[in-house]
Structure 1
Amino acid sequence: MQEDFLHYIWKYKKFALSNLKTTAQEPVAILQMGMHNHNTGPDFFNAQIKIADQLWAGNVEIHIKSSDWFLHNHEQDKNYDNVILHVVWQHDTEIHRKDNTVIPTLVLKDVVSKSALQNYQKLFSKKQKWINCENDFASVNSFVVSNWLERLYFERLERKSADIAQLLQSSKNNWEAVLFKMLAKNFGLKVNGDAFLSLASSIDFNVIQKLQSKQHSLEALLFGQADLLQLEVQDLYYLELKKEYLFLKQKFGLSSQAVIPLQFFRLRPPNFPTIRISQLANVYSTHTNLFSKVIHAQNKEDLYALFAVGTSSYWENHFTFGKISKASKKIITKAFIDLLIINTIVPIKFSYAKQQGKDIDSVIVSIINQISSEKNSIITKFQELNLVATSAMQSQALLQLKKQYCEKNKCLQCAIGNALLTSVA
């Protein structure tokens, strides 16, 4: 039994409301359940409850056992002085106010809805499952699921927005610098994301802006800061990069390089950090004021046009320094741009609009719904339970659902869990 379940029972009146009595056999009539409090203090504020012939206005506290009052040290907290009713699953001791009067106690165990209890026990059975509701996930009304996933998507954006706010603060409120760092991290993908962020953070963005018109200089800066110019390679391009980087290092007083080493192992050659660094440099040498262009983009086609760039000519027949490979144009693919849209562009647009006090939710939904669902083990498993992810908005929402609700057993805060709890057993 979870205390959250009792909150749910109380909040949604999933128990017999007639003929209620306290443990002292005084009749109880609930006029207002109160407002659910998710912070410190009593569980429900401003309830109105008639006990015997007395109408009370105040707070309600809920516990599994009456004795949990002392376990949680409420007797020492003045925030609980105005509790008018103690609601419990099991009554094992009397609770007194500071003036020694007894706080009335209502026991839910014998009055709770049997169907709600059965659904709860089924949902939280001890049988090992991928998610608690996997056997019934497909039975939930599609309208409920769809609305919940949209809400979860924006919940995920809010969480990312908090991370962006911290990045903005460390970047001295420079949105262009924030975009550069976030793009760099996503160009590094999962394997090199932190290393690429370390690389971007090692360079003042003002330096990037000063070098934007010179792709070779920009590449030299990024490769040098990534510590990739310490090899024994003799081809002309490499030697020119090294020479240029030493000049830039002295000119701009670059004192530190990226602290996280780059990885090549287990990466497909098109995702090698050498290729991604050259592409990132090319994005910035192609577009000045990239942040403004990103903010004004209204659909995925606008964004495809911004990021469909390639590498410098050297990388058209190389994947690593000094080793020639079959010639090919290494243009950033639409699939990769989709990842940039999901993980960088949309969160940036959402966060910036939020800071400006603008509502662009409809634009966000329009763009993210144009992107196909992601493919990973979590999404695949959900799709096996019920085909619910057709767009990136839904796949992102499912990631939020799994990590922030399913894995934390927060079924009682989940619309899907609530739908299953209220279904007829």
Structure 2
Amino acid sequence: MLFTEDFLHYVWKFRLFDRINLRTTEGEEMEVYSAGLHNTHAGPDFQNARIRVGETIWAGNAELHLSSSDWQRHGHTTDNAYDNVILHVVYRDDEPLFRADGRRVPTLELKDRISPDLYNRYHNLVFGNQAIIPCEATIATVDGLTMQNWLTRILVERLEKRSEAVVAALEKNRGDWEETFYQFLAANFGFKTNALPFELMAKSLPQSILAKNKNSAMQIEALIFGQAGFLADELQDDYPRKLKQEHDYLAKKYSLQAIENHLWKFLRMRPQNFPTIRLAQFAALVVQSNHLFSKILEIREIKDLRDLFANIKINPYWETHYRFDKESAPAGKSLGQGSIDTILLNTVVLFLFSYGRHMKLQHFVSRALKLLENIPAEQNNITADFATLGVNINTAFESQALLELKNTYCDHKKCLQCGVGIKILKPS
């Protein structure tokens, strides 16, 4: 029989065992008033449990093991943190447990008190040979309220984890939210392929320098393209030659060191996604929106946020070019709806949430979650798999939560820590 301590924790936590005529292994009558609070850190497994053994009511900690001999094997005998354990809950009692003063620790054996049906459902869920997720055969039967509550919880977990990187960068930037947002926004303008060089470019060019030159679009473009390493070679067209001239002067003035041009990737990319076009769009956004993060904090409607990115006007040179000195057929180079939503999802939502948590301003957290509800769901292999299982996915709120569900819970078969798994296992 495949049996885990996690399953024993689950059975005890929700008291899913036969509680009729409970007795300790020494034959004393007992009753469980409270299983206690599950402790996922060091120390006994459940804290503040309340039980009655005989005529005495005890309050304290409960420790769980598959076998009572595990107490000794895990080194609890010499650990003072376990001195106030009032109950040892085991699947199998294979040896008595004594305190340092010689008294036996009350022990409850659950081997014959767990229903075979519950165990079989657990076994099929955790040890089955499912193709996508452990509960793929039953997830569609979970009621909408349970699913929504769980997805909300793990979405917040996902944002909290991603916020750690924001807070770490904020500390490096001495608490400057504008600079930190600028760096993250730059990385996300590179999307996956060119995220690193975009981030390095932004870190080589502090936002404060851009702010000093905000009244000159030419200087902003020169700084961004120059720091990206695209102005190092000899150029033919008049526009890039002027950019190079400006950058040479500004780089000397501000002691700037450009990044290596070879970091940028063009291979197997659509021309509209070339890094040169993304840099031109990024430069136009900087020209148009000084102190961008402060502006975003003030915007309440998603339409206005989208317009902020949709209405940027890049230099006319790029209407007939995808790269310097290489003319192409005229084509629009504005950010598409999908690209804008990706930026909103990966940068704006993250920073609204992080700022709200860091500054203890809940309305920014709520605004971040609401924004996710107004962004279409992402299309990827994970969301496609959940869709085939009958899970409704309409917004980025749901798709982001499902990504967290799959990566953090399903892939590691943490069904007993998952709200969906608990609902499926719980007797009706």
- What range is the shorter-chain TM-score in? over 0.9
Structure 2, gaps ≥5 residues long:
none
* Superposition deviation, residue 414 in structure 1: 1.1
Instruction: Give the structure 1 partner of residue 48 of structure 2.
Output: 46
Instruction: Give the structure 2 partner of residue 333 of structure 1.
Output: 336
Instruction: Give the structure 1 partner of residue 353 of structure 2.
Output: 350
* 1:312 maps to which of 307, 312, 315: 315
Change (3 A) 1:76 1:243: farther
Instruction: Give the structure 1 partner of residue 304 of structure 2.
Output: 302
1:159-205 CA-to-partner distances (Å, cap 9, x unmatched) read 22222111111111111111111111110101111221122122222
State the alpha-carbon separation in 2 of the partners of residues 392 and 315 from structure 1.
Answer: 32
Are the equivalent residues in 1 in contact too, given 2:64–2:90 (CA < 8 A)?
yes
> What SS does the corresponding residue of 1:64 show, helix, strand or coil?
strand
* Superposition deviation, residue 15 in structure 1: 0.5
TM-score when normalising by structure 1:
0.95
Instruction: Give the structure 1 partner of residue 163 of structure 2.
Output: 161
Instruction: Give the structure 2 partner of residue 398 of structure 1.
Output: 402
> Quick check: 1:116 aligned with 2:118?
yes
- Partner amino acid for 1:4? D
> What SS does the corresponding residue of 1:16 show, helix, strand or coil?
coil
* Superposition deviation, residue 59 in structure 1: 0.6
- Partner amino acid for 2:47? F
State the alpha-carbon separation in 1 of the partners of residues 130 and 148 from structure 2.
Answer: 27
Structure 2 matches for 1:249-264, cutoff 5 A?
249-255=251-257, 257=259, 261-264=263-266
1:253-286 CA-to-partner distances (Å, cap 9, x unmatched) read 1146369811112221111111111111110101
Structure 2 matches for 1:3-152, cutoff 5 A?
3-152=5-154
- Partner amino acid for 2:243? L
- Partner amino acid for 1:95? L
State the alpha-carbon separation in 2 of the partners of residues 409 and 387 from structure 1.
Answer: 19
Are the equivalent residues in 2 in contact too, given 1:33–1:48 (CA < 8 A)?
yes
Instruction: Give the structure 2 partner of residue 213 of structure 1.
Output: 215
Instruction: Give the structure 2 partner of residue 367 of structure 1.
Output: 371
State the alpha-carbon separation in 2 of the partners of residues 157 and 26 from structure 1.
Answer: 49
State the alpha-carbon separation in 2 of the partners of residues 97 and 274 from structure 1.
Answer: 72
State the alpha-carbon separation in 2 of the partners of residues 423 and 297 from structure 1.
Answer: 47
Identity %: 39
> What SS does the corresponding residue of 2:62 show, helix, strand or coil?
strand
1:342-394 CA-to-partner distances (Å, cap 9, x unmatched) read 11111111221223322224433332211111111111111111142101111
Are the equivalent residues in 2 in contact too, given 1:310–1:332 (CA < 8 A)?
no
Change (3 A) 1:227 1:92: farther
Q: Tell me the matched-pair count.
A: 424
Instruction: Give the structure 2 partner of residue 173 of structure 1.
Output: 175
- Partner amino acid for 1:357? K
Change (3 A) 1:212 1:233: same
Instruction: Give the structure 1 partner of residue 189 of structure 2.
Output: 187
* Superposition deviation, residue 25 in structure 1: 2.5
- Partner amino acid for 1:61? E
State the alpha-carbon separation in 2 of the partners of residues 409 and 369 from structure 1.
Answer: 28
Are the equivalent residues in 1 in contact too, given 2:128–2:134 (CA < 8 A)?
no
* Aligned CA-pair RMSD: 1.8
1:329-352 CA-to-partner distances (Å, cap 9, x unmatched) read 211122211111111111111221
Change (3 A) 1:258 1:344: farther
1:231-262 CA-to-partner distances (Å, cap 9, x unmatched) read 45322222222222221111001146369811
Are the equivalent residues in 2 in contact too, given 1:62–1:86 (CA < 8 A)?
yes
Are the equivalent residues in 2 in contact too, given 1:211–1:218 (CA < 8 A)?
yes
State the alpha-carbon separation in 1 of the partners of residues 211 and 172 from structure 2.
Answer: 18
- Partner amino acid for 2:191? L
